[in-house]
Structure 1
Amino acid sequence: MLRNGYIVWEGASLIDSSPIVLILTGFVNPTSNRKTGSQMIQSWILSQNYVPTYAAKHGFDNSICGDCPLKLSDNGSCYVNLLTPNNIYRSYIAGNYPQFSEKELAILQHYRYPIRLGSYGDPTAVPLEVWEPIILASGKHTGYTHRHKNCDLRWQKYLMASVETEQEAKQAQNQGWRSFRIIVPDAALSDNEILCRHTEDDRIDCSKCLLCDGSSTKPNIADKVHGLNWKVSNFLKYLESTSN
């Protein structure tokens, strides 16, 4: 019987060698995330040793988030609601997720479910060799990394470089990445950027758009900062600090 979630891989983080786990969910129960779309498979990169909220609060999330400046222990503007990763982690600890197998891979290949690489956590913490069969079986994905400066460059064909400033965007583009830049609501787009299509029209979700797939032939993307008010405030403070 098909289960909703599966353990794909457990091993040492490529960031700091701490034990982490990759879990896929959404095979049975559709996600409630309106932006990504209900049929999009979600992926979770979690520390094996810490509940996500505890790890984020105390800075023990380096193994999955690296030096992302938006972490709760750093700038505190990460948009991810950690209640969902918490639930995923508790189900993992309780042994509720079986191992991902060739059977589930065949289901992905048959139905071509799109996959969100890194619903929580940076995809590059997990070896590309683990991800690639899943990406190829699905044929449709979105994904981002804050580790574009020091990760395996083979990721350029699958992930967007996640950035916060125009300067970072240009640097990433010069290194061969497409960029995904978070902007303040009234910020102007760069000449080579387009606004997230969901932000323009909320009837278009990620599973239909799929522009954020790392392909070099598509435009760079910008999106307006979103999330809880205090997180947005923290993001604005961070941008101000980078301009000083």
Structure 2
Amino acid sequence: MLENGYTVWEGASLLDNSPIFLVLTGFVFPTSNRRTGRQIQSWILQQESAPTKAAKEGRDSGACGNCILKMSQINACFVNLLPVNNIYHKQARGTYRKFGANEMAMLERYRYPIRIGSYGDPTAVPFEVWEPIILASKKWTGFTHCWSHCDTRWQKYLMASVHSQSEARVAQKQGWRTFRIIAPDAPLTNNEILCRHTEDDRVQCDSCGLCNGASSKPNIADPVHGLNWKVSNFMKYVNQA
């Protein structure tokens, strides 16, 4: 019987060697996220603390790396961690079955698009764990804040998350396509286009697929969004920078 979520991998984070795990969800009940549409969601979480606790105590580097948006930095992460706690507790109780050959075959058959890193940085988990899942899915979106020091094979599948034009130029010179979070009134550079969902909220990630790593496609920019206080924190950071 098909389950909604599966444990894919458990082990030491490639970012700080702390214990983490990877769970996929959305096989039965699609996400309610209107931006992403029906993508399989993936969650990289610390094993030793619920996400809210790990974020508050600054013990989330195994999952999130050096992301400037996390709570211990500028506190502007767009992810609502309260629902993510449920995934952590289900994993702790052993609710999720192991993702195996049958589930991989199902991905290959139905080509469910996957969101690489709904929470957590994908590069925390070995590339060899991810690639068979990505190839089975055939359609994906993904982002990393660890683009400056991660395995360069990720350039095929992930966008470099950046927050300034100078940072975008550095990442692009290293071979990355970039996804730049911008202020609401900030101009685009000549090699960027606006996120399609921002232009038309009927367009969802599962059908768009522009944020899928290295290709001849343009770089993407998206105005900061989310709770007002998170937007405010991001704007303070941008203005100071």
**Residue 162 of structure 1: SS of its match in structure 2?**
strand
TM-score, normalised on structure 1? Answer: 0.98
Corresponding residue for 1:216?
215
Corresponding residue for 2:119?
120
Moved over 6 A (4+): none
Corresponding residue for 1:140?
139
Q: Does residue 56 of structure 1 match 2:39?
A: no
**1:24-103 aligned within 5 A:** 24-37=24-37, 39-103=38-102
**Residue 184 of structure 2: SS of its match in structure 1?**
coil
Answer whether contact 1:177 1:216 (CA < 8 A) is retained.
no
For structure 1, list consecutive stretches of 5 or more residues without a partner in the other structure.
none
Q: 1:159: Cα distance to partner?
A: 0.2
Amino acid of the residue matched to residue 75 of structure 2?
A: G
Corresponding residue for 1:129?
128
1:100-149 superposed Cα distances (whole Å, 9 cap, x missing partner): 00000000000000000000000000000000000000000000000000
Corresponding residue for 2:17?
17
1:164-192 superposed Cα distances (whole Å, 9 cap, x missing partner): 00000010000000000000111100000
Q: 1:73: Cα distance to partner?
A: 1.0
TM-score, normalised on structure 2? Answer: 0.99
**Residue 222 of structure 1: SS of its match in structure 2?**
strand
Q: 1:215: Cα distance to partner?
A: 2.6
Corresponding residue for 1:160?
159
For structure 2, list consecutive stretches of 5 or more residues without a partner in the other structure.
none
Amino acid of the residue matched to residue 9 of structure 1?
A: W
Q: Does residue 190 of structure 1 match 2:189?
A: yes
Q: Percent identity?
A: 66
**1:197-208 aligned within 5 A:** 197-208=196-207
